[in-house]
Structure 1
């Protein structure tokens, strides 16, 4: 009987800076405070028209002022997703000395759901379809946030948008990691962005896809990724190292058990590629609990992949920030970084962290992070 070839180890990449905007506020420190307190109040939802109302679900909008981070020039032309993505990338770039050779890869579920819905509605309610406002059209494109971010910050390298529902951020990190290691950019800003709009909120509400007692949120988390060789001689250590990012798919028609087994295989493969064992994982940030019925699938997969004998911290970011869909996994990564940087917590013994997620379409994935001073 043929045996499977061992997974080839892959080189790590450094997370050298982070730009985070969420219901907790702006930055890793604000996120760390909220995670420690177990609650983020969030700002006010952005309803752009008087006729747009939200359903009766708890909402946790990102608490930030776009004009403070981006300036007022051209702000009215940006969708909420554009503002979140551009502002988060700008925060990450603040810690980068030379932005030359920097690309952008953002994960999202759709882009701006609100912009798409409003533009589509105008084609029906305007006197003639061609009387829609043409300046609104760019915001309906899925790659609007990544494209407008590159224009605003004058980034001329790799530019990509990855749509993948709750796995979008993991797909973006994986894409960026492979692109960086292939030498197509010096640095890549990679992460996820998701806006909160009345249209998306009603979709969650009407479909019943949101888990009970879970709020709807929004946010963006973007990380500046570099290869370790790029950091040689740098005066400051990276925030962490991304050792592996693995995604997969299982036919959901075969049952949730098969999806869970595929996630278990993803975790085991990622740890093997990272040169780590399950015992090395000190922090787990699961991401499926915001979607009705999927928390149990994810937990069962984690129990199969990680021994129960090891004492590890469960970082439940969704309970603090709400269900953030396409930005969820990126905010989970940000939660890990915020925990490791929190001076009020003693996390010196925490060597590695695991971020996981699975979607209702059968997509699964995980990312493995290690502390900056950990051996690789």
Structure 2
């Protein structure tokens, strides 16, 4: 099925470093085979109690990226750099337009690396003097370290932005990417999201999550989308999906449900589509009651069948800030294996416990 060309931005590529492995093919194959990714955590290495997590198998930053420039690189930066590199190394990549001065990078995160921030602060408190710290690891304690390293590694010299938004960060980054294009600030945007596993994140989640979802295993990884104007589509980088609308709301407590429903309906209205047009709907699988609420709202607004057509992002564990980008990647991977998905509409939502709500509406394109 062909879709008319519009002036809306499109997604022309994606890749990921996930608990299924490195690259888009690894994630797509893992979804196809429904391979489990959860495993016991090495308690000695990670310094956590006996637990289970969804880790990127065998990921060691220096082994994946090489020894040059990675001696002090933390895990979340390594994941982000590896994901962007796997996208740029795909067949059909056009480095002239996907890097350089007219290419931007937007990275979604929760806090950057909680482990690096805590380790750096601890060394200042425990040292003989507050300034007895390793200057080589100081950049890791800054939230935008990963985005900066991605730009340095691959020569991305356009706008470089880090958005901290918890579970909603991936969709917030997608919205920001469309604004960069519409304002003429960039011709191409690499829209990425990354979340690492660490002892610091384990304990932060353990103490802050509350009793409603104590057993949800953490996940990690990074996903990146290539967002371009429709006019930039080439045979090598065909349009995979058209970004019809992104809408956001903020609400907590009893207001979360009506606000999320209003957010989804507003996005559908902006996209000029109806409930009957929605082929797939992907919730962010927030742990606990919020995740149940999100799935109920999507089922009510878009239909329960739509929520079952794409594997749940929770299969990868709690990937937090990387959820939205992984959800879109999983929608695109599923659509690529489903010929009937071409021309259909997909809805992706995010709901964060701090109140950030977001919804993106995509029209899937036939990239064959």
Would you call these one fold, judging by a TM-score over 0.5?
yes
TM-superposed deviation, 1:17: 1.4
Correspondence 1:243 to 2:239:
no
Secondary structure of the 1:365 match is strand
Q: After alignment, is 152-161 or 53-62 more displaced? A: 53-62
Give structure 1 stretches of 5+ with no counterpart.
1-9
8 Å contact 1:283–1:350 — kept in the other structure? no
Query: How many residues get paired?
Result: 354
8 Å contact 1:249–1:362 — kept in the other structure? yes
> Normalising by the residue count of structure 2, what TM-score does the alignment of the two structures yield?
0.88
8 Å contact 2:147–2:161 — kept in the other structure? yes
The equivalent residue for 1:266 is: 263
350, 359, 367: which one aligns with 2:360: 367
> Normalising by the residue count of structure 1, what TM-score does the alignment of the two structures yield?
0.87
Q: Give matches, 1:202-217, under 5 Å.
A: 202-209=203-210, 211=213, 213-217=215-219
**Cα distance in 2, alignment partners of residues 228 and 85 from structure 1:** 26
Q: Give matches, 1:97-246, under 5 Å.
A: 97=94, 98=96, 99-100=99-100, 101-209=102-210, 211=213, 213-231=215-233, 234-246=235-247
Secondary structure of the 2:131 match is helix
The equivalent residue for 2:65 is: 70
The equivalent residue for 1:328 is: 323
TM-superposed deviation, 1:301: 2.0
Q: Deviations over 1:278-310 (max 9, x none)?
A: 1111111111x34222122212322342245x6
84, 87, 92: which one aligns with 2:87: 92
8 Å contact 1:249–1:364 — kept in the other structure? yes
Give structure 2 stretches of 5+ with no counterpart.
1-5
**Cα distance in 1, alignment partners of residues 154 and 336 from structure 2:** 27
TM-superposed deviation, 1:356: 0.8
Q: Deviations over 1:15-60 (max 9, x none)?
A: 111120110112222222222333432689698xx68512333211
Q: Give matches, 1:297-336, under 5 Å.
A: 297-307=293-303, 313-336=308-331
TM-superposed deviation, 1:214: 2.5
